[in-house]
Structure formats: C-alpha cells, structure tokens
Structure 1
C-alpha cells in the first residue's frame, strides 16, 4: 500500500464473496477509504474483511439487510467521506493502467463531476477478452454530492450525475468472475425477472416488436458490434446468453402483464 492515498472513497456491496473480494480490495489500496456493505455473508467474507482491516487497509465495514441493488449501493455511496467516490462490485478490480490513471482523474477541473470507466470482461473457458472487444464504459467515479442512484430501480442500476462527465482515456475495470453456463443462465433469469417487474411497475405493456426482434438484435450487438466474435466459441456463447436474457425479460413482461389483467388464464400452480 502507498503511504499517500488518493482522495477517493471506494464502495463495494457484497454477500458471500470470499473468493473474489480480496482481489477487489487489493486493487483499491491507493484509495483513502474503502466502504464495504455486507448483506449477510456466511462463507468467510466477513473474516476476510477483518483480515484486510488488520493489514492496514482503510476499510469501514457496514452490515445491513438486502434492500435491492440500487438502494444498497446508494447506502454505500452515502457513507463515503472523500471528495471522489468509486463504485466497484466485489468481483471487479482496477487494472494497473487504471490505478495509475486514477490520480489524474481526481484532479479534473471544476464542473467535471464524473468519469466513465471502461470495462474488460472475463469469459468462462477463455479468460479476459482481448483489448479490441468493446464491452462499454459506465459511470463509476463521481464527485461526492453530485451523483445518486434511482433507488426504485430493481436491476441494472446506474448513477445519475449532476453536471458534466467524461470517459477515462486509459485503464479498465476487470470483471474477474467467469461463470459456467448453468450458473450464468440462473443469473440471467434472475435479472430478467427483475427487469420485467421493473417495466411492469413503470406501466409498460408487452412489446411485440421487442419480444420478437430484441433477442437477435442483442446477439448481433454483442457478437458483431462489440466484437465478441474475437473470442471464438466462448464469445458466441456469451452473445447467445445475452440474447436469452433479452428474450426472457420480454417474455416475462408479457406473462406478468397478462396474469395481472386476465387472472382467469393464470395457473398459480404452474
């Protein structure tokens, strides 16, 4: 760890992440503060965190029941005390280039209140995707007090920024976890269900065009536009899994919408 840390509060939410959280924490060693919010770990995650606290990492640990992704991240963000706040998931970490770049990003001129950080995915049976794969950047580094989550969002939560934001010129967030298909499909099903509930809550009705065309378009977006074809069969599987998520989200929206309006056609035992 460096003697002089950056004016950054990194914040991480977790539950049962003992296999991944250590790498995340170590990549944040230059930050002045690391906020970790745990929602009931039983796999040794809490002991791991205490071990890193004992090693001198500037961790503040909070234990809190799970209220949903956006609400938990907003709680973590609210605990940050440094001028800049950095969001990471427990299975993510900063690569060396981004760690070096971080010191420059937090010296941004007034009015630049957030930075979009690029992302590098790891695929099962492959490893990290090539640099040429364009997964996409998202807002992860924000000035304290100038960004917030919409806490009623159920899934795919994102930060809403007041003022200007830019994209970091170098470095990436590494997503270290690569799930086999049987686990990834379960995750996609969970996300699709939350997405359908979110759309229904917003008053959205089933969208025939999206039900039919969104899955193949999603596949083409990932496989061709984002260049996952460079990863061979693992890239094809990733794109196809994304298409399955797109289909499930739209199909679940249709079923939930129909069940709410035509309860006579809904079999509660199914």
Structure 2
C-alpha cells in the first residue's frame, strides 16, 4: 500500500523584505500552504504578499523573534512545517530531500539544514558561517520555540533529528547598509535578552567582546579567505556586538533611573 504524502505548511516572518521575499516565496510554492506573518512592513512587502495567490498573510506586531515565530507556528494547519527566514531559498535538490520526508521515508521529527551564505550574489565560504546549521523542517506536534531566547531563537524538539545533505541558500547580504541595520537590530535584541537574564555591562566587556568577534570571524574562522567580503562581514558582526554592549549599558542606566524615580 502506497502511503499518501503528508502535507506541508511553509512559514515565514517578514518586516521590510522586498528584494528577498520574492525568491523565498517562489522556492516554497511546492508547499500545501504558505503563511507569512508580517510585522507591519512599510516597503511594499505586505502589499506584495497580499496580492500573491498562494500566500496567506497576517499582520502581527513584532516583540521579538521567538514570540513572533511561536505565533506564526500556531497558524499552520499541517503537522510538518518548513520555517524559513525571508532571505532564505530552497534549491531544487533540497526540495527533493524535503519531499522524501513528506512521503513518509523517515522516523525523524525534525531536520537540520546547513546554509550557504550569499554576499550579494557571491558565495561566502568562510567568515564563521561555514558550519552554520539550523532547524527548518519539523513536526509542529513535536517541537516548540524556547522562551529562554528572544533572538537567534532555539527550537526544542521531542524526538529524533536528521540532517539534510543539500544546503539552504541564505541571501544574508543585500548591501552594506541593509546588513549593518540587521546587525544593530540583533545586537539590541540580544542586549534585552541578556538584561532580562541579569547579565551586567562592564567597560571591559565593551572593549574585548567586539574585538574578539572580529578576530574570531576574520582569523580563526578564516574570513580572510573571503577577501574583502570577509573583512566587511567580520567588521559588521563586530559592530553588532558593540551595539549589544551599548544597549546593555543603556538598559541598565534606564533601569537605575526608574528605580530612583520610584524611591520614597
């Protein structure tokens, strides 16, 4: 008896993703449903999605990545979900691996994806990203996003995991300013996460941590082999860490001020 293929929900969160989202949507049109949760984009992303015949788009305010992805996960009607970032693209060979899973040829409940990072339209082969992998395909009934992180969210899986051979294409770098704003935003969110966990700002942290980030990505993780691209990515990643330190300091000052204002 031939098993019926299980259905798949493709899930994406967006905010001002024109230039990325088009390729992402096109690559997941094989899914049985495509659901996008948009946090009130202002660049035409929402209008594009609204007009797309294969997409169900919902607008929902963004608090952090974990809460937004948890909300999006609840919208899926199928157990198997493919959760992508708006700047990720599923290749044809990877699509075939996913279809094998949907045909019932696995006992795994989740799958890791390695990613190939693209600097504009050129592959970034080193700079710390060569071993990057994330959960992207999983059973909704067997996984949840941990509430311990609000950026670089963590999926908790109840069951066995597999890993695909083919890589997911990640168009992480459209232009300098776009990537810079991403890194600054991640840095601020990471600082909030650390603040809630009662981690403290120190000037030593601000002096050492950004330098170490650059050194690690450019030298230890072989960013210099990516040429000028490696310098740019390593610098902007370090800038994100510097923003993390500055934001952590701002949050502590704000908290101190609030404390003194409420003192009798």
Q: TM-score range by the shorter chain?
A: 0.7 to 0.9
Partner of 1:49: 49
**How far off its partner does 1:39 sit?**
2.4
SS at match of 2:169: strand
SS at match of 2:117: strand
Kept after mapping to 1: 8 A contact 2:64/2:189: no
SS at match of 2:116: strand
Write the deviation string for residues 55-101 of structure 1: whole angstroms up to 9, x where unpaired. Answer: xx3x3322223333221211111111223111111221112221121
Partner of 1:80: 76
Partner of 2:93: 97
Measure the CA separation in 2 of the matches of 1:5 and 1:251. 50
Runs of 4+ residues deviating >4 angstroms: 207-210
Deviation larger for 13-22 or 113-122: 13-22
Kept after mapping to 2: 8 A contact 1:6/1:30: no
Given the alignment of the two structures, is residue 184 of structure 1 paired with residue 172 of structure 2, yes or no?
no
Partner of 1:159: 155
Measure the CA separation in 2 of the matches of 1:220 and 1:251. 20
Measure the CA separation in 1 of the matches of 2:126 and 2:207. 32
Given the alignment of the two structures, is residue 218 of structure 1 paired with residue 213 of structure 2, yes or no?
yes
SS at match of 2:135: strand
Given the alignment of the two structures, is residue 20 of structure 1 paired with residue 20 of structure 2, yes or no?
yes
Measure the CA separation in 2 of the matches of 1:52 and 1:263. 47
CA distance change for structure 1 residues 236 and 61 in 2, over 3 Å: closer, same or farther?
same
Measure the CA separation in 2 of the matches of 1:60 and 1:120. 28
Measure the CA separation in 1 of the matches of 2:234 and 2:105. 36
Measure the CA separation in 1 of the matches of 2:22 and 2:220. 33
Partner of 1:268: none
Selected match of 1:196 from 191, 210, 218 = 191
CA distance change for structure 1 residues 96 and 203 in 2, over 3 Å: closer, same or farther?
same
CA distance change for structure 1 residues 64 and 244 in 2, over 3 Å: closer, same or farther?
closer
SS at match of 2:227: helix
CA distance change for structure 1 residues 131 and 85 in 2, over 3 Å: closer, same or farther?
farther
CA distance change for structure 1 residues 131 and 214 in 2, over 3 Å: closer, same or farther?
closer
Write the deviation string for residues 111-167 of structure 1: whole angstroms up to 9, x where unpaired. Answer: x2211111121224x622248961500111111211112356432222222223232
Kept after mapping to 1: 8 A contact 2:111/2:135: yes
Selected match of 1:260 from 247, 252, 255 = 255
Selected match of 1:70 from 66, 69, 92 = 66
Measure the CA separation in 1 of the matches of 2:40 and 2:223. 36
Measure the CA separation in 2 of the matches of 1:31 and 1:242. 34
Gaps of 5+ in 1: 265-270
Gaps of 5+ in 2: 260-264
**How far off its partner does 1:259 sit?**
5.0
Measure the CA separation in 2 of the matches of 1:121 and 1:246. 20
Deviation larger for 97-106 or 77-86: 97-106
**How far off its partner does 1:32 sit?**
1.5
Measure the CA separation in 2 of the matches of 1:72 and 1:225. 34
Selected match of 1:238 from 209, 219, 233 = 233
Q: Aligned residue pairs: how many?
A: 255
